Structure 1
Amino acid sequence: MNTVRISRQHPPRGRVTAGAPLAPLVWFKSGGAANILFEPADVEDLAIFMADISPDYPLLALGLGSNMIVRDGGWPGVVVRLGKAFAGVEQVDATTLRCGGGASGILVSSKARDAGIAGVEFLRSIPGTVGGFVRMNGGAYGREVKDVLVECDVVLRDGTRAMLTLDELGYTYRHSELPEGAVVVSATFRGEPGEAQAIQAEMDRIAAEREASQPLRSKTGGSTFKNPAGLKAWALIDAAGCRGLRKGDAQVSEKHCNFLLNLGSATSADIEALGDEVIEKVKAHSGVTLEWEIQRVGVKA
């Protein structure tokens, strides 16, 4: 395995772990190790680290690992994981929050409720962190990050800082033009005035609906495929006879067909192969080619 060459001119103040297993850090609980896992102490520490590492080595930002397959051969470079130092949420004005890249959707929506800010309740339903929301234009229940984002603060691959506006991110469905290798360290969201009780009621409604319709207590990766224009991925998968389809310990959820599950000891290869089989069956049945929403990263074993 190649090693990542890190300059010793500015030793990192955060935690650096060589050969770090990634399976415990992702929801599927499968996959290989990272050459280096870096958990920075703060933004300055991250910027110096990114400037010092060799530019030819891959870099991956990892949040809660909820929408990701890490392949069994692992990640051949650096994985950056933002911890508590990046999980703060502060109120900027009556309708605006500045949120750390490591803050969870539950925390952001709860802080918004406490501040009487409506419009970001949907983040309660996305099992990830602000950095991932911004990168993927995360969305649910009729809203997307593009509807509430003002700007985001990022550390670029060469270690420089940049503030990117909504327009500069070029959002489309579950996609942004965030520069390759950039790490989102904070984002500013703007909602609208609301009553805390009504905001909480909406959050409760969303939580109950998710609990009833999604396999939240399983080893899964969230929504697997993007919804084609005007269609629902789960309905196409169901119509193609894929509900409950298995490959080893990987299974298409019987509760929600757009979720893949690790029933126990599935490898990432099993999970990805099952997803590819679903794509083939849906294409054969309906003529529609599903696109992966889950990020698949790393090297196949």
Structure 2
Amino acid sequence: MTLVLDQTTIRGKLTPNAPLAPLVWFKAGGHAQWLFEPKDMADLQDFLRSLAPEVPVMALGLGSNMIVRDGGVPGVVIRLGKAFAKVTADGVTLTCGGGASGILVSSTARDAGVAGVEFLRSIPGTVGGFVRMNGGAYGGEVADILIDCDVVLRSGELVTLTAADLGYTYRHSELPEGAVVVSARFKGRAGEPAAIQAEMDRISAAREASQPLRSKTGGSTFKNPDGHKAWQLVDEAGCRGLQIGGAQVSEKHTNFLLNTGDATAAQIEDLGEEVRRRVKDRSGVDLEWEIQRVGVKS
């Protein structure tokens, strides 16, 4: 697949056959046919307008909740850089770039005395990913705080979508295919910076105690089914420590898969499917992937 566009007009960075493993938390997987890092919003819009309509487009944040398959990702992967990573506060409203991390958003909120977004501190990703997947943890989720977001559609058109427009459900939105979230506005509530920091510290300590944060992992692997905890179903199915090649079910938290060193993306995905099979056999529950799996199997 070739890109039919005038590359001399591009002001950002366009890289062919770009390795994605270094950009995702699992540190495994194939290449992007093209990786585009736009200089600013206008550059992103111009690029998408000039891109042949049949070329698929996928946004990539911090790569924390993703398996990139070994055959790579066809089309264009778009990664937002520093130009999209600013966060400002106005009263209890936070305006956040799509490339801003949860740590930056929550820290900016703390400094401005804005409470209610502390849970973002615990989600390893960017605002664009949070908005797309209705990211949540520790009793909060994006659907609770999102006012609206600015989105560049696959056509290059800039639109503003409200939380209602996104049709949020658990870890899912109806964001259009190929769309890129470039900014979002979150509404918190007035709070004391010291109390906000204390809540962020509590969340960080809970994560450190229960999750394998220093491992090559992808975060929570499966959605919690109604009435169940995914980790408990996995544990009861005897999968704690289960291994396929270099991929392993974490012994610390069984809803996390690990790359113990040299796992392929296929081994990680196969391990997840084996866990799903064992849980189904043991409990009758169909676990749904929370981790996004993208690209082509080799």
Whether the TM-score (by the shorter chain) exceeds 0.5 is yes
Query: How far did residue 7 of structure 1 move?
Result: 1.2
Query: How far did residue 130 of structure 1 move?
Result: 0.1
Q: Distance in 2 between matches of 1:251 and 1:179?
A: 34
- Name the counterpart of 2:63: 65
- Name the counterpart of 2:192: 195
Query: Among residues 257, 275, 278, which one is paired with 2:275 in the alignment?
Result: 278
Identity %: 72
1:250-289 Cα distance to aligned partner (Å, 9 max, x none):
0000000000000000000000000000000000000000
- Name the counterpart of 1:122: 119
1:216 equivalenced with 2:213 (yes/no): yes
3-state SS, counterpart of residue 223 of structure 1: coil
Query: How far did residue 196 of structure 1 move?
Result: 0.2
- Name the counterpart of 2:21: 23
| Conservation of the 8 A alpha-carbon contact between 1:58 and 1:77 | yes
Instruction: Give 1:186-265 correspondences, 5 Å limit.
Output: 186-265=183-262
Letter in 2 for 1:129: T
- Name the counterpart of 1:160: 157
Q: Distance in 1 between matches of 2:290 and 2:202?
A: 25
Query: How far did residue 6 of structure 1 move?
Result: 3.7
- Deviation >4 Å, runs of 4+: none
Letter in 1 for 2:189: E
Letter in 2 for 1:165: T
Query: How far did residue 10 of structure 1 move?
Result: 6.4
Q: Distance in 2 between matches of 1:276 and 1:55?
A: 33
Give aligned pairs, total: 298
Letter in 2 for 1:12: I
Query: Among residues 266, 270, 273, which one is paired with 1:269 in the alignment?
Result: 266
- Name the counterpart of 1:292: 289
3-state SS, counterpart of residue 279 of structure 2: helix
3-state SS, counterpart of residue 197 of structure 1: helix
Q: Distance in 1 between matches of 2:289 and 2:53?
A: 28
| Conservation of the 8 A alpha-carbon contact between 1:151 and 1:166 | yes
- Name the counterpart of 1:53: 51
3-state SS, counterpart of residue 48 of structure 2: helix
- Name the counterpart of 1:99: 96
TM-score normalised per structure 2: 0.99
Q: Distance in 2 between matches of 1:125 and 1:9?
A: 39
3-state SS, counterpart of residue 290 of structure 1: coil
Q: Distance in 1 between matches of 2:61 and 2:161?
A: 20
Q: Which sections of structure 2, spanning at least 5 residues, go unmatched?
A: none
1:105-146 Cα distance to aligned partner (Å, 9 max, x none):
000000000000000000000000000000000000011000
Q: Distance in 2 between matches of 1:53 and 1:34?
A: 16
Aligned CA RMSD, in angstroms, stands at 0.8
Query: Among residues 174, 178, 195, which one is paired with 1:177 in the alignment?
Result: 174
| Conservation of the 8 A alpha-carbon contact between 1:10 and 1:48 | no
Letter in 1 for 2:23: L
Q: Distance in 1 between matches of 2:253 and 2:262?
A: 21
1:9-41 Cα distance to aligned partner (Å, 9 max, x none):
762100010000000000000000011000000
Query: How far did residue 90 of structure 1 move?
Result: 1.0
